[in-house]
């Protein structure tokens, strides 16, 4: 297996772990927690424990995906693709990566964690609903990006 193929394998495994996790949180975990909260239980501690564990998986897979992606651009010497609108999926991949990297490494630990802990104590239903909507936006953008990237790479 040459370096490029290895990088592609790492890239796709990173994407599967990361976006698969986002899909689980969005379609399963958050709806279940919202129902618990509606039934009168305090969903906040469970959300923080579970999302905290997933945040580490997401951080590691984000680094693997970004590193392998940049390595592939370097090996292909494909930097000029960034100025070609036909490679919109490359821009989309990079944008999604930047958004998640900022969220996971800067905004979440520095700002969002504290904000969410306060918001969920004061208005648990609307805080969870907002988090759920945000996850849907990120998940849909990620899925459109994955579809565009696979079609783009394989000549679609």
Binding site for ligand HEM (CB under 6 A): 8, 11-12, 15, 19, 65-66, 69-70, 72-73, 93-94, 96-97, 142, 145-146, 149-150, 153
State in angstroms the smallest separation of the CB of 132 from ligand HEM.
20
Tokens of 28: 């399963």
State in angstroms the smallest separation of the CB of 15 from ligand HEM.
4
Nearer of residues 11 and 34 to ligand HEM, judged by Cβ: 11
User: Which residue of this chain has its Cβ atom nearest to ligand HEM in the complex?
Assistant: 69
State in angstroms the smallest separation of the CB of 45 from ligand HEM.
30
State in angstroms the smallest separation of the CB of 101 from ligand HEM.
8
Whether the CB-CB separation of 132 and 26 falls below 8 Å is answered with: yes
Nearer of residues 100 and 116 to ligand HEM, judged by Cβ: 100
Residue at token pair 């907002």? 130
State in angstroms the smallest separation of the CB of 60 from ligand HEM.
14
Helix axes 124-153, 30-38, angle to 10 degrees: 170
Nearer of residues 70 and 107 to ligand HEM, judged by Cβ: 70
Q: DSSP for 31-70?
A: HHHHHHHHTT---HHHHHHHHHHHHHHHHHHHHHHHHHHH
Nearer of residues 50 and 153 to ligand HEM, judged by Cβ: 153
Nearer of residues 7 and 127 to ligand HEM, judged by Cβ: 7
């Amino acid at each position: 297996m040459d370096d490029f193929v290895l990088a592609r394998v790492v890239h796709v495994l990173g994407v599967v772990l990361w976006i698969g996790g986002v899909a689980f949180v969005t379609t399963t975990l958050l709806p279940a927690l919202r129902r618990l909260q509606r039934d009168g239980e305090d969903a906040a501690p469970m959300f923080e424990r579970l999302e905290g564990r997933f945040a580490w998986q997401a951080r590691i897979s984000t680094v693997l995906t970004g590193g392998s992606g940049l390595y592939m651009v370097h090996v292909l010497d494909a930097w000029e693709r960034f100025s070609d609108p036909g490679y919109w999926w490359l821009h989309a991949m990079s944008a999604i990566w930047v958004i998640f990297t900022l969220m996971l490494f800067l905004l979440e630990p520095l700002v969002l964690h504290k904000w969410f802990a306060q918001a969920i104590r004061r208005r648990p239903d609307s805080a969870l609903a907002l988090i759920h909507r945000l996850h849907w936006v990120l998940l849909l953008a990620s899925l459109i990006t994955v579809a565009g990237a696979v079609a783009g790479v394989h000549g679609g």
